[in-house]
Copies of this chain bind each other. A is one copy, B any other.
Amino acid sequence: MGRGSRGTVGGRARREQIERAAAEVLAEMGYAASSVGRIAERAGVSKGVVTYHFPSKDELLRRVALRLFQECSAHIAASITGATTPAERLRAGISAELEFFSTRRIEFLAMAEIMANHRDASFGHAFDEVSTSETETLADLLAEGQAQGDFRAFDVHEAAHMIAAAKNGLLDRWASDESLDLASASTKMLDFLESAVSHR
């Protein structure tokens, strides 16, 4: 603000256009090949535009990844509303995440590239925190289920990590194999997990 277009309406549109282009290039060509020039070319603008709208390439990538993250979180939160029991909320949350990404494949692949390669101090931490809070939420859910007698006894923290890992593993599989039926695998996984945490 003050200088440049950051904050104006046209600026926002440009930024989104560039972020979209960045996601496409990342998904198709990988992190190493995702140069500013290539992104600009994909966006149909000159290289300078990218530098103008983003303080740095790192910032651009950070935005691409974080935005998807946030939208996903919002989607999950909305989907959990209405689920009452811990078991339902568990299913709802994981289903929502997988469902969300399944409609945003390119951005998901881009985010994966960024997270895998971006060795930036302040950046990695951001994701670590998100993933930590995700696991904690999960652990709370499991503890609640145990307290209500729905779930059997186990270490809720380790279990939370494992459930998160199972979900991420599924996303990884889907990332390298688009033909994988995410919905079906998701159901199977949730069935397995549910019986793993429940009294039987």
A residues at B contact (CB < 8 Å): 1-2, 29-33, 41, 44-46, 116-117, 119, 124, 128, 152, 154-155, 158-159, 161-162, 164-166, 168-170, 172-173, 176, 185, 188-189, 191-193, 195-196, 200
Chain B CB within 10 Å, residue with most, of A119, A159, A165, A173: A165
CB distance from A96 to the nearest CB of B (A): 19
Q: Which residues of B contact A172 (CB under 8 A)?
A: 165
The answer to whether residues A128 and B192 also contact, given A1-B44, A162-B169, A165-B170 and a CB cut-off of 8 A, is no
Q: Which residues of B contact A189 (CB under 8 A)?
A: 158, 162
Q: Which residues of B contact A185 (CB under 8 A)?
A: 158, 161
Interface of A is mostly: helix
The 8 closest A-B pairs by CB, nearest first: A165-B169, A196-B196, A30-B119, A158-B188, A116-B116, A162-B166, A165-B165, A165-B166
The answer to whether residues A119 and B29 also contact, given A162-B192, A185-B158, A192-B162 and a CB cut-off of 8 A, is yes
Instruction: State whether A159 touches B192 (Cβ < 8 A).
Output: yes
Instruction: State whether A31 touches B169 (Cβ < 8 A).
Output: no
Instruction: State whether B119 touches A33 (Cβ < 8 A).
Output: yes
Instruction: State whether A170 touches B161 (Cβ < 8 A).
Output: yes
Instruction: State whether B192 touches A158 (Cβ < 8 A).
Output: yes
Contact of A161 among B1, B169, B195 (CB under 8 A): B169
Q: Which residues of B contact A46 (CB under 8 A)?
A: 1
